[in-house]
């Protein structure tokens, strides 16, 4: 495109490398940023640089952090006897919003996926096993490890693998419930979800909220 001036072409190119952003969206965003108040583009640029300069991974759980310990690991009010294992930092955020878990986390940074050549060695699996082994050696093993990887092929395989490796090192190993999402419809649920919902049924509690 001979008529596309170079700084604009460069920004379109940089934006279209983002996931879910195609060339058309990148164009639209670029023209928005051209017309938006000067501060908007500059704040975005500064935020981009800051995120790379200031963000590190927590040395304990590998969640994102600005210091060697993330706010959750550093919080003495959290239950230190339980770990919830998730694939991504976004999953920590999603769970934290619910307030349903008061323990600490372990972020794997992915899931085992032989198809993509991702084995346990590419994830933070070793560090999780070390955490569990260390507590076990100290005579106070984790009471519970919740496997909260995604209910996908890869997430299930990862949970299976971790359950095998953690067995004997921790009190109990649990898996988040898979079933019909709240507000969902049995009629439209896929077969595997229905099977999981049926398998995971529990005693009905009259006052359950």
* Contact positions vs a copy of itself (CB under 8 A): 1-8, 10-11, 13-15, 17-21, 25, 27-35, 38, 40-55, 64-66, 70-72, 88-90, 92-93, 96-97, 109
Check if the beta carbon of residue 144 is closer than 8 Å to that of residue 82.
yes
Check if the beta carbon of residue 124 is closer than 8 Å to that of residue 109.
yes
- In angstroms, what is the minimal distance from the CB of 15 to a copy of itself? 7
- In angstroms, what is the minimal distance from the CB of 32 to a copy of itself? 5
Nearer to a copy of itself among residue 96 and residue 144 (C-beta)? 96
Contact residues for 43 (Cβ-Cβ < 8 A; gap 6+)? none
- In angstroms, what is the minimal distance from the CB of 7 to a copy of itself? 4
What residues pair up with 113 in beta bridges, in sequence order?
118
CB neighbour class for 166 (10 Å; exposed up to 12, middle 13-18, buried from 19): buried
Nearer to a copy of itself among residue 2 and residue 138 (C-beta)? 2
The rounded Cα 31 to chain-centroid distance in angstroms is: 32
Q: Which two tokens stand for residue 180?
A: 């019909």
Nearer to a copy of itself among residue 63 and residue 170 (C-beta)? 63
- In angstroms, what is the minimal distance from the CB of 184 to a copy of itself? 19
Q: What is the C-alpha separation between 143 and 178, in angstroms, rounded?
A: 22
Check if the beta carbon of residue 90 is closer than 8 Å to that of residue 148.
no
Nearer to a copy of itself among residue 21 and residue 197 (C-beta)? 21
- In angstroms, what is the minimal distance from the CB of 74 to a copy of itself? 11
Residue of 74, 43, 84, 96 whose CA lies nearest to 66 = 74
Nearer to a copy of itself among residue 99 and residue 168 (C-beta)? 99
């Amino acid at each position: 495109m001979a008529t596309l001036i170079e700084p604009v072409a460069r920004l379109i190119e940089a934006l279209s490398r983002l996931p879910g952003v195609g060339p058309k969206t990148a164009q639209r965003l670029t023209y928005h940023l051209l017309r938006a108040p000067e501060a908007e583009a500059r704040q975005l640029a500064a935020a981009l640089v800051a995120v790379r300069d200031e963000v590190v991974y927590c040395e304990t759980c590998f969640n994102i952090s600005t210091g060697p310990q993330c706010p959750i690991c550093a919080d003495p009010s959290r239950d230190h006897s339980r770990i919830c294992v998730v694939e991504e930092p976004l999953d920590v955020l999603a769970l934290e919003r619910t307030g349903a878990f008061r323990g600490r986390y372990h972020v794997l940074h992915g899931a085992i996926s032989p198809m993509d050549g991702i084995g346990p060695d590419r994830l933070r699996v070793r560090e999780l096993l070390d955490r569990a082994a260390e507590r076990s050696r100290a005579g106070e093993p984790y009471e519970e490890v919740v496997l909260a990887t995604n209910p996908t092929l890869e997430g299930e395989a990862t949970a299976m693998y971790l359950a095998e490796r953690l067995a004997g090192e921790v009190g109990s190993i649990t898996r988040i419930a898979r079933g019909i999402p709240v507000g969902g419809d049995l009629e439209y649920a896929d077969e595997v979800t229905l099977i999981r919902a049926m398998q995971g049924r529990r005693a009905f509690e009259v006052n359950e909220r």
